[in-house]
Amino acid sequence: MRKEHAEDHFAYLAAYRDRILLAGGLRNNPAEWFCGGMLVMGVGSRAEAAALCEDGPYFKLGLRESYRPCTWGKGPCYGDVTL
């Protein structure tokens, strides 16, 4: 069912690329099917991040059952990073 709705999912990511800065699927190893996904967001609040997760096609269709918002802090040795 994910493959059937992949185009809608990717269109959603593209429509919100000003706030969803980077996205991709997660696998336990390269030969296995995806076990989840990760979104790197530039948002002003946890509520805004939650709304972006919950409004996505995969979440609305029940293909993503949950999400876990986290705040990321870059290691200081990496200097400036632009996404």
User: Within its chain, how far is the Cα of 56 from the centroid?
Assistant: 9
Domain count for the chain, please give it: 1
The reply to whether 44 falls in a domain is yes
Q: What is the pLDDT of residue 3?
A: 80
Output the CA torsion sign for 42, 45, 46, 52. Answer: negative
Cα separation, 35 vs 47, in Å, equals 24
Q: Long-range contacts made by residues 6-12, C-beta under 8 angstroms, separation at least 24?
A: 8/57, 9/56, 9/57, 9/58, 12/55, 12/56, 12/57
Q: CATH number for the domain including 48?
A: 3.30.70.1060
Contact 50, 41 (CB under 8 A): no
Q: What is the pLDDT of residue 72?
A: 86
Q: What is the pLDDT of residue 54?
A: 97
Mean pLDDT per 10-residue run, the chain (83 residues)?
87 97 95 92 96 96 92 89 77
The reply to whether 40 falls in a domain is yes
The reply to whether 29 falls in a domain is yes
pTM for this model (two decimals) = 0.84
Q: Which domain holds residue 57?
A: 2-65
The reply to whether 71 falls in a domain is no
